[in-house]
Structure 1
Amino acid sequence: MSVVLVINSGSSSLKYSLIDPQREVELAAGLIERIGQDSGIVGHTVRVVAEPGQPVLTMLDAKHSAERPIADHHEAFAVMLAQFAEHGPSLDENPPVAVGHRVVHGGARFFEPTLITDLVEINIDDLSVLAPLHNPANLAGIRAARAVFGDVPHVAVFDTAFHQTLEPSAYAYAIDAEVARDHRIRRYGFHGTSHKYVSEAAAAFLGRDLGELRQIVLHLGNGASMTAVRGGRSVETSMGFTPLEGLVMGTRSGDIDPAALFHLSRRAGLTTDELDTLLNKRSGLLGMAGHSDMRDILAGRDAGEESATLAYDVYIHRLRAYVGAYIAQLGGVDVISFTAGVGENAVEVRADALATLGFMGIRIDPERNAQRGGIRRISTDDSAVEVLVVPTDEELEIARQTLSAI
């Protein structure tokens, strides 16, 4: 059996997944957290297949956890290997044919899955100036993985790559052209792996030609973004130079007048780092209502909390504004898909986000919308637009792109 190991390396975490690409199933997954701290947390889950050869996974997952100090990413990989050796599946019996790495920022250099070489590592490092919280951590995982799995190809799959099809009119900011060029200021977009997977899965579910569809994908999690997809290509996306722009998120503000930051600097004396922390970690739902989780916001709204109600209303208002703008950019829409934690589970968010689009013939079926689990249609049979819930699978998409690169 040929398998692909997928790695998502954070600054203090290592998330991994072992994928069987032929059956497109996850055989095992794990998360190692608190790397470099006094005590690390290790979680490893083995997926169990119902019957030999059957591609449908059961709920009989075997979960294992432990706590121990983990000094760095190299030690984290040793811990990961120990989990596979002790709990399975055996990597000796199922050696990976390749390792796929999630890399957040590819700048304007990387527009497809890329075989990792020493030169590619240098370029990923150089792009760290655009993603200082992500690319250095991604690179640490790459270097640790190449040290362990030196005899197999490693592939970088970039979050920004899917959005490299944006036209200059969509990615350029209206600032001094020389300043923008010298400092690489432009819209890059993120969550591209998810948007690509969902748009393709939606077309397959509907039995429609991807090349003929105008789609809007709403990736709504703690981080949130929206993408307009025409013919399988990203033509507009809400995140910009960084993942801060666009929709209201768990802790991020999304769109805000830049002059408000000048005002806070001059009048409140906030430094650049303090403004960064404010907008990325103390804003969004958390800043408005004290909770970053949509479930808490909904519970607070139902309990009559004014702050939770306002936060929810602002969240929905922003979604409607972007959906409307993207319909205009696409010249109409055939499919709207919701994905990620909020998109897949928050019934109210899906209904309210599209509630004002009845004039376009978009209709949500309340009973279908209340159902859970798997890819599904939530629009009525007579809706002019197909509305779907499509659970994202970024690990599977990374595995697919890794194979395509080798």
Structure 2
Amino acid sequence: MKILVLNCGSSSIKYALYNMDDKSVMTSGGAERVGLEGAFVKVKLPGGEKKQIMHDIPEHTEGVKFIFSLLTDPEIGVIKDLKEIDAVGHRMVHGGEKFNKSVLLTEEVLKTFEECSDLAPLHNPANLKGVRAVQELMPGLPQVGVFDTAFHQTMPDYAYMYAIPYELYEKYGIRRYGFHGTSHRYVSHRVCDFLGVKPEEQRIITCHIGNGGSVAAVKFGKCMDTSMGLTPLEGVMMGTRSGDIDGGAVSFIEKKLGLDADGISNLLNKKSGVYGITGISSDMREIEAAEKAGNPKAILAQNMYNYRIKKYIGAYAAAMGGVDIIVFTAGVGENQTGMRAGACEGLEWMGVKLDKEKNEKVRGEEAVISAPDSRVKVVVIPTDEELMIATDTMNLL
């Protein structure tokens, strides 16, 4: 069985074609600058070679159409006919309270999904464009939606509610939803397979730390809390997002800078976080290099970054009545050894003991990085959201 995974953003389309017989990636890539000048598609070929192809992509249907043509291209394609594709799985960002699991995308489902667009005005319409493009190009092909928010729908009301007038929740759905759910679900299950333990017996803290970052408390296989909120802005400090900030500080900044709602959103989402503190970059590799060179703002940013992750780990250990496993995943979590060490430093009191030498060696691979006598297992598990989407899609056919 062959499953195509699509992740359509406002100006990008990422894709991966899976052979689900052995769960291998046949090819993958992505279109960038959709609707803009200088659009191109990057393709990763079966042998690992990468190719960049310039192509005008005025909108998503044309982008999906061009990706389909690459899949069957005589030189770089991996299938002879599009009919070999059995289904398409889509990353859908915000399912609100409507979706707590992956579903086949019917017209009724898509109408319900559109109703959630107020909660993710940039992402949901783009996701929908990808679905409509496939419908137009390959009518009747089964499509499945896998929602970023679905895994977090098991949170109890006392964890997801904000302490604001209740009618704002009733009228507008203002509450904590959380994101990166597909990643948190994947790594919380995968780490149990890796360690040979049962998910329903483990208290797990999953740290998805990339340019965007979130932490989740997964108790006995179900999410009970997560750091992102109504939007992906809340929680830990991120590449360009502020993370947690006093609402009073937000209104203070608005008045001082004369910003409207869009202006303050842009400031907190795109000009804050690591980039805002350092003025250097949102890339933690560059910040780490600057830190080692003695840049005081880079040192401050790294300390803030690690400290906030540590705070969430401690809070979620308290919320679950303890912790058995801590997982680091995503670009920074899988590769930045200093962040992992910094986030675990001082947690010895709760049974966390890092193997410093092992931690320094592990980058982008599954590995236990805690010491043999650590009560809490600390593990690196590379995330694979695309495989999770492909698996959900296959299971719904």
TM-score calculated relative to the size of structure 2: 0.97
The residue type paired with residue 173 of structure 1 is: Y
1:387 aligns with 2:378: yes
Distance 2:3 2:191 in 1: 24
Deviates more, 1:76-85 or 1:384-393: 76-85
The match for 1:297 is 287
2:11–2:35 contact (8 Å) kept in structure 1: yes
Distance 1:91 1:156 in 2: 26
The match for 2:117 is 128
User: Secondary structure in 2 aligned to 1:380?
Assistant: coil
Offset, 1:304: 1.1
The match for 2:390 is 399
User: Secondary structure in 1 aligned to 2:232?
Assistant: coil
The residue type paired with residue 383 of structure 2 is: T
2:17–2:25 contact (8 Å) kept in structure 1: yes
CA offset digits 1:163-215 (Å, max 9, x no partner): 00000011111111112210110110100000000000000000001110000
User: Secondary structure in 2 aligned to 1:136?
Assistant: helix
Deviates more, 1:35-44 or 1:197-206: 35-44
Candidates 98, 115, 121, aligned match of 2:104: 115
The match for 1:6 is 5
The match for 2:321 is 331
1:106 aligns with 2:105: no
When the two chains are superposed, the root-mean-square deviation of aligned CA atoms in Å is: 1.2
User: Secondary structure in 2 aligned to 1:211?
Assistant: helix
1:342 aligns with 2:320: no
The match for 1:21 is 20
Distance 2:78 2:246 in 1: 51
User: Secondary structure in 2 aligned to 1:88?
Assistant: coil
**Cα 1:265/1:373, change in 2 over 3 Å:** closer
Distance 1:117 1:401 in 2: 16
Offset, 1:94: 6.8
CA offset digits 1:223-244 (Å, max 9, x no partner): 0000010111100100011000
Distance 1:101 1:94 in 2: 18
Q: Write the mapping of 1:278-317 to structure 2, written as runs, cut at 5 A.
A: 278-290=267-279, 291-317=281-307
The match for 1:55 is none
User: Secondary structure in 1 aligned to 2:205?
Assistant: strand
Offset, 1:23: 1.2
User: Secondary structure in 2 aligned to 1:285?
Assistant: helix
| Identity value in percent | 46
Distance 2:263 2:55 in 1: 33
Distance 2:132 2:78 in 1: 24
Distance 2:184 2:261 in 1: 32
The residue type paired with residue 36 of structure 2 is: Q
Q: Write the mapping of 1:1-400 to structure 2, written as runs, cut at 5 A.
A: 2-47=1-46, 60-86=47-73, 87-92=76-81, 95-290=84-279, 291-371=281-361, 372-400=363-391
CA offset digits 1:24-46 (Å, max 9, x no partner): 22111011111111221111112
The match for 1:57 is none
Distance 1:202 1:94 in 2: 35
Distance 1:127 1:333 in 2: 34
Structure 1 gaps of 5+ residues are: 48-59
The residue type paired with residue 358 of structure 1 is: E
1:336–1:388 contact (8 Å) kept in structure 2: yes
2:237–2:274 contact (8 Å) kept in structure 1: yes
Distance 2:189 2:170 in 1: 33
2:306–2:339 contact (8 Å) kept in structure 1: yes
The residue type paired with residue 80 of structure 1 is: I
**Cα 1:370/1:91, change in 2 over 3 Å:** farther
Distance 1:3 1:104 in 2: 23
Distance 1:25 1:387 in 2: 27
1:3–1:94 contact (8 Å) kept in structure 2: no
User: Secondary structure in 2 aligned to 1:29?
Assistant: strand
Distance 1:45 1:246 in 2: 33
Offset, 1:62: 3.1
Distance 2:335 2:162 in 1: 34
User: Secondary structure in 1 aligned to 2:141?
Assistant: coil
Offset, 1:149: 2.4
Distance 2:260 2:326 in 1: 40
Q: Which runs of 4+ in 1 moved over 6 A?
A: none
The residue type paired with residue 108 of structure 1 is: E
Deviates more, 1:160-169 or 1:23-32: 23-32
User: Secondary structure in 2 aligned to 1:124?
Assistant: helix
Distance 2:294 2:37 in 1: 41
2:307–2:342 contact (8 Å) kept in structure 1: no
User: Secondary structure in 2 aligned to 1:342?
Assistant: helix
TM-score calculated relative to the size of structure 1: 0.95
Structure 2 gaps of 5+ residues are: none
